Every structure is written in C-alpha cells, then in structure tokens.
Amino acid sequence: MLFNTFSFKKLLAIFVVILVLVCSCDSFKIKVKRKVQDFRHVSGNKLKDYSENSTDAASGRGFFPPGSIFTLGKVLNFFPVGGERECQPSQGFTARSGICLNPYDCRQRDGRAGGDCAHGLGVCCVFEVTCGGTVQNNLTYFMSPGFPELWGGRGDCNVTIEKAHAGIMQLRIDFVHFSIGQPNRATGECDEDVMTLGEEGNQFKVCGQNHGQHIYHTLSTDTEAREADELAGHRRTQLSVAARGSLVPRLWLLKIAQMPLANAAPHQCKQYFTADNGTISTFNFAINGRYLADHQYQACVRRSAGACSIRYAPCAPRSFRIGPGGGVQTYGAGELHSHPSLG
C-alpha cells in the first residue's frame, strides 16, 4: 500500500515535470515570436492586426523554413534599412518621395514599393491616404478622392495624423497640388470650401489655390498631453478638407512630413525658406485669387553661411500691395535673394 502510494506520487511527479518541460518549451517559442515582433517594432511600426498572422508565420510556414532557398532573402527582409531616409521612387510614381524601408515593413505599413533603395536592400516605400485615412508614417501623401482626376463631390474629407514617434515637434505640409473653392469675395473668409489643420487654438485654415506653398505646424504640447504620458500615435492631429461649394472642381496632393527637433523650423515660423533665392507669396496668390482673412503669420528665411543681407523685389509690377486695412486688399509675392557678405 505504502509502496503503491509512493510510485503513484513518483509517476505524478514525472508527469508534472514533463508537463512543465512542454509548457516552458511552448513559452520559449512565444518569447521568440515576441522578439521577432519587437525587432520589427524598432522601425516604428504599429503592431495592428499583424500579431495574429505572425503567429502562423513564426510557427514554421513563413519565417525561417529550414533549408529553404528563400531563407537569405527573408533574413534580409528583416534588416532595418538605415534611418528611414527619404528616397525618390524609380518607378510607378510621379512627384512623390518615399522612405527607404525593407520590403516587409513597407507591406506591413500599407505602403507601396516604388523601386529599390539602399543598394537593393530596401524599397522606396510611398505612403498615400485619402478621406478617412490615418497618417502614421513620415512623408505620407494626402490626396483628393480619385486623384489625379478632379473631384466634384461635396462633404468632409478628413484624415487623422498620428506622430510617427514621440519626438515629433512639427508637421511640414507641402502643397504639391492644391485647388479648392475660393474664399468669400467680400470678407476673404473660407466660408464654403476650407482646409483645416489642427484643433481650436492651434489651427490653420486655407482655401483657394496654393500650389507650391508649404507650412510648418507646431504640434501642441500642452500639459494634458504630457500628463497622458504621450506615446507614439497617442496624440492625433486632424486635417480636414470641407467641400461645401457647389460646382467646384477640386484637386489636392499634400505631402506630410513629420519633423523632429533637429529639422524643425524656428519658433513661430509658419513658413521657412532655406534656399538662397526663392519666392514668397501669400496664400491663394492667383489670378482672381483674394487675400485670405485671418492670416497673420511669419515667413522666415534661413541665413545662409556667408550671407549678410537679403534683397526683396516684387515679382511683377503689381504683385506687391499693402493697404491701410478696412477692405483694402493686401497681398504680395516677391523674390528674395541672399547676398554674399563682402568680408
């Protein structure tokens, strides 16, 4: 009887040990999977729905199938390709830039590959969103529905911009193409069509024609955000185009770049010009364009090494005019030239 109990206990112990081994083996596998995910995470990814499918992949089908001829290619696919640098797609896109990513990251982040970069290790990954989309990557293009066709629809076309990582200070938005309805003729207000960036208190509104313009938008860093322990993607910025005018053909392609402190424009500069010469013009500076109401902002020019002055000149005889206010139009476009110092 005593012997029997002992052997039963022993058996039970062996069983438990086997069970523990099996379990720890499994949990080891899980750890490996997590590692792989973390590795991918390094390049700033959202895990999204990804975890579900990676489990399949990690359990043998996708990752490193032993002896597979594709193993090397797969391994290379997981290499982060140096710093997500800007690149020009060699195929399939006009007037877009992308960021250099490994092909796997590009697919997972819903980008489209436009040729090779980093000596063939990566692809030049282009990100595009339209109405209802979310911007999660640096250099994402927001375009009108059906771009490059004109859009005659009405309603709101909104996108949400999430910081690619917590260190993002500003957005730089380039108006590659931009044509929506004109402001109110009498008041200059964008009371039908309007593009709105940001929330009340830190908002920029524009309408009309603005090809070639750009703006810097400093993201709010209020106490609320800091208290909420700001994480990547935690703080969202709304960018919306309200299309309310009738019979207005619209078209836009906006390039949205996320700027870390190192590449930010100086404080309070809505525009920042860094070239030695160029053109500064008010928004909606166009034939039959009207100066927009409530546009008080600073356009800043970076001082080039060795330059000591700037020469401004009107682009055309009637291209620069300011008035005493009270209904007088104020607008301008001028060229600027930095002059090399003589010393």
Ligand X SMILES: *[C@@H]1O[C@H](CO)[C@@H](O)[C@H](O)[C@H]1NC(C)=O
Residues lying near ligand X in the complex (CB under 6 A): 49, 52-53, 84, 86, 138-139, 156, 158, 164, 196, 238, 240, 257-260, 263, 276-277, 337
CB of 57: closest distance to ligand X in angstroms? 9
Q: Quick one: tokens of 50?
A: 């990804």
CB of 291: closest distance to ligand X in angstroms? 23
Q: 33 or 330: whose CB is closer to ligand X?
A: 33
Backbone dihedral angles phi then psi of residue 217, each to the nearest 5 degrees: -125, 115
Q: 10 or 337: whose CB is closer to ligand X?
A: 337
First to last CA, the chain: 107
- Inter-residue contact 214 to 257 (CB < 8 Å): no
Place of tokens 């139009």: 329
Q: Is 301 helix (H, G, I), strand (E, B) or coil?
A: strand
- Where are any strands of DSSP class E within the chain? 86-87, 98-101, 112-117, 122-129, 134-135, 140-143, 155-162, 168-179, 194-197, 204-206, 214-218, 236-243, 251-260, 271-273, 277-281, 299-301, 307-314, 320-321, 331-340
CB of 177: closest distance to ligand X in angstroms? 19
Q: 24 or 156: whose CB is closer to ligand X?
A: 156
CB of 334: closest distance to ligand X in angstroms? 12
Q: 270 or 291: whose CB is closer to ligand X?
A: 270
CB of 138: closest distance to ligand X in angstroms? 4
> Which amino acid is it at 55?
T
Backbone dihedral angles phi then psi of residue 316, each to the nearest 5 degrees: -145, 160
Q: 60 or 323: whose CB is closer to ligand X?
A: 60
Q: 31 or 337: whose CB is closer to ligand X?
A: 337
CB of 239: closest distance to ligand X in angstroms? 8
Distance CA(57)–CA(51), nearest Å, equals: 10
